[in-house]
Structures are given as C-alpha cells and as structure tokens.
C-alpha cells in the first residue's frame, strides 16, 4: 500500500469556465490556469503520482508546454492512470476536499465523482469528493480562489 497527498489552488478569473472534478459548473468566473484549472483533478494528480513515487504533475504535464494549454484535466487523469498501471499500481481509493465559499458544490458532487472515476477507470465508490469553507478566512474565504486537498491510496499489483 502507498499513500500520496496532493494540493492545488488557483485564483478566480472572470470569463473562464469553472471546471471542478471534471465537470463545468455554472458560474460567471472560472479559475486562472494554463490548463482548465480543475483544482480537484490537479490535487488528485499529485496525490496519485506521489503515492507511486513518480514525481509531480509539473514533471509529467509541465505548464508552458503547448500540448497542455487549456487541456481538460480529465485527460491528464487518464494518462496518470496509464502511468500507474505501467508502474504496477492500482488505485484503491482517493478522497478529495474542495475549499471554497462559492459556488455551492453539493448539487454537483455526484457528477464530479462519476466523471473522475470514469477518467481513472475505477468504480465511483473509490472516489470521494467533499466541499468545505473556511468561514471567510484566507484567500478561499475571501472568494479569491478555490483550493483542493487529495489523499490517494494505491496498491501494488505485485502484492495481489
């Protein structure tokens, strides 16, 4: 068993779509980023890559590389799933906490979990997404951006 932790945060930007957990959420603003800015998927990427000792998302999907300009982060999760399999790992589960004051994410959680599970080729019950606030404290509390923290548990194929 291997555990990895991932974190990501992006500032708000008016005029961009808000993509979280692989889905577009109705909002007048999105998140500023080289890719689609999906902090949920980005935190998951680093948790998965870290658990497998494969570096971080910047190593595999460097910002500034034209191949990744505005790329959907679900595609990055698909590629990461292939990297994990090639390294002899399978996903046991991933738990993500999203930190934001708005929009309210509860109505979108189920759809996020489905999209993320499909991209990773796992069952929906292996993905947990939760939302919380900071009750007005810090950059997320002031509504300047959104952050996400993920924990991933991998199993080595050689131990099965």
- State pLDDT tens for residues 36-55: 999 999 999 999 999 999 99
**Mean pLDDT across the chain:** 95
Higher pLDDT, 141 or 130: 130
**Whether 77 contacts 116, CB under 8 Å:** yes
- The predicted pLDDT at position 160 comes to 47
User: How far is it, in rounded angstroms, from Cα 11 to Cα 147?
Assistant: 9
Please give the residue range of the domain that contains residue 68: 2-159
| Percentage of the chain exceeding pLDDT 70 | 98
pLDDT value of residue 45:
97
* CATH number of the domain encompassing residue 122: 3.30.1330.50
Phi, psi of 142 (to 5 degrees): -80, 0
> Which segments of 61-108 does DSSP mark as H helices, in order?
73-86
What is the domain count for the chain?
Answer: 1
Q: Tell me what the mean pLDDT of segment 4-16 comes to.
A: 97
Looking at residue 159, what is its pLDDT?
53
Q: What is the pLDDT of residues 95-112, one digit of tens each?
A: 999 999 999 999 999 999
Residue 86, C-beta contacts closer than 8 angstroms, at least 6 positions apart: none
Report d(CA 115, CA 117) in Å as an integer. 6
- Quick: pLDDT tens for 111-138: 999 999 999 999 999 999 999 999 999 9
């Amino acid at each position: 068993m291997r555990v990895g932790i991932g974190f990501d945060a992006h500032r708000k930007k008016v005029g961009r779509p808000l993509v979280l957990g692989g889905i577009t959420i109705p909002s007048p603003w999105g998140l500023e980023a080289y890719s689609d800015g999906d902090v949920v998927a980005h935190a998951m990427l680093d948790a998965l890559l870290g658990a497998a000792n494969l570096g971080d998302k910047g190593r595999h999907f460097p910002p500034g590389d034209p191949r990744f300009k505005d790329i959907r982060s679900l595609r990055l999760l698909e590629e990461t799933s292939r990297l994990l399999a090639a390294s002899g790992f399978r996903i046991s589960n991933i738990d993500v906490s999203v930190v934001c004051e708005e929009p309210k994410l509860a109505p979108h959680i189920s759809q996020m979990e489905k999209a993320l599970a499909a991209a990773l080729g796992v069952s929906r019950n292996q993905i947990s997404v939760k939302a919380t606030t900071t009750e007005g404290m810090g950059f997320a509390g002031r509504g300047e951006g959104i952050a996400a923290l993920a924990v991933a548990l991998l199993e080595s194929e050689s131990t099965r």
